[in-house]
Amino acid sequence: MDKQELKKEVDSRRTFAIISHPDAGKTTITEQLLLFGGAIRQAGTVKGKKTGNFAKSDWMEIEKQRGISVTSSVMQFDYDGKRVNILDTPGHEDFSEDTYRTLMAVDSAVMVIDSAKGIEAQTKKLFKVVKQRGIPIFTFINKMDRDGREPLDLLEELEDLLDIESYPMNWPIGMGRGLEGIYDIHNERVELAHPENYDGKRFLTLDKSGNIADEHPLKQNSIYQQAVEDVELLQEAGDDFDLEKVEEGNQTPVFFGSALTNFGVQTFLEAFLEYAPAPQAHKTQDDKKVDPYEEEFSGFVFKIQANMNPAHRDRIAFLRICSGTFTRGMEVTLERTAKKMKLSNVTQFMADARQNIQEAVAGDIIGIYDTGNYQVGDTLYEGKLGIAYEELPSFTPELFMQVNAKNVMKQKSFYKGIQQLVQEGAIQLYQTYLTDDYIIGAVGQLQFEVFQYRMKNEYNSEVVMKPLGHKIARWIDPKDLDKNMHSSRNILAKDRFGQPLFLFENEFAMRWFADKYPNVELKSLL
């Protein structure tokens, strides 16, 4: 591929993640997007859980039991000259640090909100990580075919809770059974939800005053008149659309629709593809940036999925390509070890199959079969590029377990396993400050199960885990440390770099501590 071709290919990429609270409709909207892209032929194929379509997958046992599918971790399709990569961010119990890390590998995010529920806990958590990265965030307010909350209310909540400006690209005309359509501010038209109730025309043009140009029965409908009034109000009092702010993640374009009835999804997709960025330059550890059009291949590993099948110890390392072209069989350098690696067994993930690929470019995600060479955060590069990409952040764990080896005679394999899994980024490790007991921390329950399973299968170490439950982890400056600060409502611990932290029982315990020691700064990770 020559430089010009590479640029054209890279510019066509749109790599993003959908973030939402469970049940807001992420799967449903993903399926609609894949249907538009022709990547699947029927709805219901994304989650194995629902259809059993992935039953033949020989992937990890836990994956099968829980219906998580590696094939749905990355989905790719083409639409309107763009190549779209959607990265999945699992919800529910499958939530893990990988979910957060996936957000390090995208160029933008789409936030799906249930119109009856507004901003929910998990959306807020994921939003925080996206916001911190400063990448564009698009909002889709879903389930407009049901009675939900007032749209103005929802925008206000979004701005207040997430501290971001919002700009409605369109505005609902009614909701629930009374949903007539959307007033499409961006495209200056009205899109009807039920054109069959009128003359079959789906799109109605607007005149200069912002009203439906031709005669139409909807013009007499008070629901429509209300929407026009709302839009006028928003245009007077609200913020203007500002692409620069969108690109910096300081303004979110908001769309309304219904994924289930496939209303407003295509309109959303088209505007999203217009404004979402192509792959951007990526930062290195020495604060330089690598251009995606740089001809030499480079990328970083953001997630490792272990194979839980004892007969296949292999894993898949997910790599985000940051520059150049991947070609099958190419030789690259693994920066951490300076070892040369040949990339021959590599897959790209399609919606309904894992395929062996020949070529991919910056913006794409590839899955490298791994026999234990890679760690989360690793950089791979071609030729003399000689770079290390920015380290991935660590995330404040929320769940904790005390762990021990079941068999005291097998301490050695226990320590080895823990050290390796911690290094790989599968789990976080702490020790109590005074007694050196092992505590592991995670952001999701699944991480513990995977940890226990892999300790047994890969390191032949059975572990006993005692749940400590939810805790709030806060780091303090070692010079502030006084062992008397330790109480029954917190656990004093140290992380694997020896830094002191407290695991507080709850918000109350943390506030009590903060009041008692006002000069001690409590710090969290991301």
Shortest reach from residue 178's CB to ligand GDP, in Å: 14
- Contact predicate 405/414, CB 8 Å: yes
Shortest reach from residue 415's CB to ligand GDP, in Å: 39
Q: Which is nearer to ligand GDP, 70 or 360 (CB)?
A: 70
Q: For residue 22, give both structure tokens.
A: 């469970």
Q: For residue 260, give both structure tokens.
A: 């289930």
CB count in 10 Å sphere of residue 493: 25
Q: Where are the alpha helices (DSSP H) in 201-278?
A: 222-237, 243-248, 265-275
Q: Cα separation of 506 and 509, whole Å? A: 5
Shortest reach from residue 28's CB to ligand GDP, in Å: 3
473 is in an annotated binding site: no
143 is in an annotated binding site: yes
Residues 4-23 that bind ligand GDP (CB under 6 A): 20, 22-23
Q: Which is nearer to ligand GDP, 92 or 354 (CB)?
A: 92
426 near ligand GDP, judged by CB under 6 A: no
Among 81, 95, 78, CA closest to 19: 95
Among 142, 166, 267, 428, binds ligand GDP (CB under 6 A): 142
With tokens 């301490």, the residue in question is: 411
24 is in an annotated binding site: yes
CB count in 10 Å sphere of residue 19: 27
94 is in an annotated binding site: no
Among 11, 97, 107, 145, binds ligand GDP (CB under 6 A): 145
Shortest reach from residue 50's CB to ligand GDP, in Å: 8
CB count in 10 Å sphere of residue 370: 21
Q: Which is nearer to ligand GDP, 95 or 326 (CB)?
A: 95
90 is in an annotated binding site: yes
310 is in an annotated binding site: no
Please tell me what DSSP assigns to residue 413: H
CB count in 10 Å sphere of residue 482: 10
Q: Which is nearer to ligand GDP, 173 or 259 (CB)?
A: 259
Q: For residue 474, give both structure tokens.
A: 């806060």
143 near ligand GDP, judged by CB under 6 A: yes
- Please give the size of the binding site for ligand GDP, defined by CB under 6 A: 16
144 is in an annotated binding site: yes
Among 14, 15, 17, 28, binds ligand GDP (CB under 6 A): 28
- Contact predicate 139/18, CB 8 Å: no
23 is in an annotated binding site: yes
Q: Cα separation of 474 and 500, whole Å? A: 9
Residues 251-290 that bind ligand GDP (CB under 6 A): 258-260
Q: Which is nearer to ligand GDP, 9 or 184 (CB)?
A: 184
25 near ligand GDP, judged by CB under 6 A: yes
Q: Cα separation of 423 and 435, whole Å? A: 23
Q: Which is nearer to ligand GDP, 145 or 378 (CB)?
A: 145
27 is in an annotated binding site: yes
26 near ligand GDP, judged by CB under 6 A: yes
Q: Which is nearer to ligand GDP, 42 or 356 (CB)?
A: 42
Q: Which is nearer to ligand GDP, 24 or 234 (CB)?
A: 24
End-to-end Cα distance, the chain? 39
Q: Which is nearer to ligand GDP, 106 or 126 (CB)?
A: 126
Among 99, 103, 161, 112, CA closest to 134: 103
Q: Cα separation of 293 and 207, whole Å? A: 43
Q: Cα separation of 369 and 375, whole Å? A: 12
Strands 137-142 and 251-256: parallel
Residues 201-260 that bind ligand GDP (CB under 6 A): 258-260
Q: Cα separation of 154 and 175, whole Å? A: 13
With tokens 């995600």, the residue in question is: 365
At residue 281, what are phi and psi to the nearest 5 degrees?
-60, 145
20 is in an annotated binding site: yes
Shortest reach from residue 47's CB to ligand GDP, in Å: 7
- Contact predicate 440/398, CB 8 Å: no
Q: Which is nearer to ligand GDP, 110 or 503 (CB)?
A: 110
Shortest reach from residue 142's CB to ligand GDP, in Å: 5
* Sequence-ordered list of residues with C-beta below 8 angstroms from that of 184, at least 6 positions apart, any chain: 169, 170, 190, 191, 267
173 near ligand GDP, judged by CB under 6 A: no
Q: Which is nearer to ligand GDP, 146 or 202 (CB)?
A: 146
* Sequence-ordered list of residues with C-beta below 8 angstroms from that of 85, at least 6 positions apart, any chain: 13, 14, 15, 16, 74, 75, 76, 363, 364, 365
Shortest reach from residue 256's CB to ligand GDP, in Å: 10
Shortest reach from residue 257's CB to ligand GDP, in Å: 7
Give the x/- contact pattern for ligand GDP in 82-121, rule: CB under 6 A. ---------x------------------------------
* Binding segment (CB under 6 A) for ligand GDP, from list 8-16, 138-146, 394-402, 471-479: 138-146
Binding-site residue positions for GTP: 20-27, 88-92, 142-145
Note the residues at the interface with ligand GDP (CB under 6 A).
Answer: 20, 22-28, 91, 142-143, 145-146, 258-260
